[in-house]
C-alpha cells in the first residue's frame, strides 16, 4: 500500500498536483482555494519530499520511478482518469505518469527534461547550491526571508515576484528543501536523463513557462518536439520557475482550463494525509 502524503479538497473532476524537486505539496496552497471550487484536488508529496518517505534504497528515484509510485497511489484512491498538473520535476513526472496509466489532461509548469542530453550543469549546480544553503544556513535564511528584500535575495532565482510570498511560506519552503531526504538521489537520477516518448501520448497537453524562469533558462532546454502535436503553449508573464505565489489567479485559471464544465460532482469536505497525515492546508 502506498504511503504518499497528500492533501485533498474540493469536488468535481479529479485534478492531481505534483510539485518540483526539493518542494512539497503545500507549494500549491496559493491556488487550492480557487481550484477546489471547480475540481476534486489532490496535491501529493512525491517520494522523498514533504511527508512522503523516499523510495526503497534499491530503487533509483528517476522521474519514471516517481511516476510509478504516483500511479500506484492513484490506483489505490480509485482515480481512473484524473487531470494531472506538475511544476518543475512534477511536470516531468506527470509526463512519465501519462505513459503508465490513463490521464484526462496534462498541464506542465516549467517542466525540465525537454533538453537534448542530460540535465544541464547550470540547473544541477543551481539546485544543489540552494539545497546546500538551505541545510547549512537555516537560521540566517529564516531571518532574511522576514523582509521583502531578503525574500528577493533568497528566492529570486525560483520566483518571479518573491515579495508576494509571505515570510511563513518562504520559511516552510526552505525547510522542505533542507529536510528532503530524497533530494540528492533524485537530482542525481536526472543527470543523464531527458524526457522522450511524448509524441505518442494521446492526451491534451498544456505547457507554460514563466517569463522570469531563471532555472530552465535556455530556449534549447524548452524544446517541445517530444510533446504531442497540438500541445498548447501558454504564457505566465512575470512568473518564475515556481509560479504559484507569483500569480495564483493566472496559475489556477491555467490548471482549471482543461476541466470539462458539465456534470461536476458536489463539493466534498477536504482531507489530508499520508493517506491522511497532516490536517488541512498549511496556515
Q: State pLDDT tens for residues 3-46.
A: 999 999 999 999 999 999 999 999 999 999 999 999 999 999 99
In a domain, 279, yes or no: no
Q: Is 19 exposed, middle or buried (0-12, 13-18, 19+ CB in 10 A)?
A: buried
In a domain, 46, yes or no: yes
Alpha helices in 145-222 (DSSP H): 148-155, 167-178, 183-190
The predicted-structure confidence for 164-183, as pLDDT tens digits, reads as follows 999 999 999 999 999 999 99
242: domain range? 5-274
In a domain, 267, yes or no: yes
In a domain, 282, yes or no: no
In a domain, 281, yes or no: no
Q: Which of 217, 258, 252 is nearest to 236 (CA)?
A: 252
Query: And the C-alpha cell for 240?
Result: 518564475
In a domain, 221, yes or no: yes
What is the per-residue pLDDT for 273? Answer: 57
Q: Is the pLDDT of residue 58 over 90?
A: yes
- CATH number, domain at 95? 3.40.50.1820
Domain total for the chain? 1
In a domain, 197, yes or no: yes
Q: Which of 9, 28, 8 is nearest to 18 (CA)?
A: 28
In a domain, 249, yes or no: yes
Amino acid at each position: 500500500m502506498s504511503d504518499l502524503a497528500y492533501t485533498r479538497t474540493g469536488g468535481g473532476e479529479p485534478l492531481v498536483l505534483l510539485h518540483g524537486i526539493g518542494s512539497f505539496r503545500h507549494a500549491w496552497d496559493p491556488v487550492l482555494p480557487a481550484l477546489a471550487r471547480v475540481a476534486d484536488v489532490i496535491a501529493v508529496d512525491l517520494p522523498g519530499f514533504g511527508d512522503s518517505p523516499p523510495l526503497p534504497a534499491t530503487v533509483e528515484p528517476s522521474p519514471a520511478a516517481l511516476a510509478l509510485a504516483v500511479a500506484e497511489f492513484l490506483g489505490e484512491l480509485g482515480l481512473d482518469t484524473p487531470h494531472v498538473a506538475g511544476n518543475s520535476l512534477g511536470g516531468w513526472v506527470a509526463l512519465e505518469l501519462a505513459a503508465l496509466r490513463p490521464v484526462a489532461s496534462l498541464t506542465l509548469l516549467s517542466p525540465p527534461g525537454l533538453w537534448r542530453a542530460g540535465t544541464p550543469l547550470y540547473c544541477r549546480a543551481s539546485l544543489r547550491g540552494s539545497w546546500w544553503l538551505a541545510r547549512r544556513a537555516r537560521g540566517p535564511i529564516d531571518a532574511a526571508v522576514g523582509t521583502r528584500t531578503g525574500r528577493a535575495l533568497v528566492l529570486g532565482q525560483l520566483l518571479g515576484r518573491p515579495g508576494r510570498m509571505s515570510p511563513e511560506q518562504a520559511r516552510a519552503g526552505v525547510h522542505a528543501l533542507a529536510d528532503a531526504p530524497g533530494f540528492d538521489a533524485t537530482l542525481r537520477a536526472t543527470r543523464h536523463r531527458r524526457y522522450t516518448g511524448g509524441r505518442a501520448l494521446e492526451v491534451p497537453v498544456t505547457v507554460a513557462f514563466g517569463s522570469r524562469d531563471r532555472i530552465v533558462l535556455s530556449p534549447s532546454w524548452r524544446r517541445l518536439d517530444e510533446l504531442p502535436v497540438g500541445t498548447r503553449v501558454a504564457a505566465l508573464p512575470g512568473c518564475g520557475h515556481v509560479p504559484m505565489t507569483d500569480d495564483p489567479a493566472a496559475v489556477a485559471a491555467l490548471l482549471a482550463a482543461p476541466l470539462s464544465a458539465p456534470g461536476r460532482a458536489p463539493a466534498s469536505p477536504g482531507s489530508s494525509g499520508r493517506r491522511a497525515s497532516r490536517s488541512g492546508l498549511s496556515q
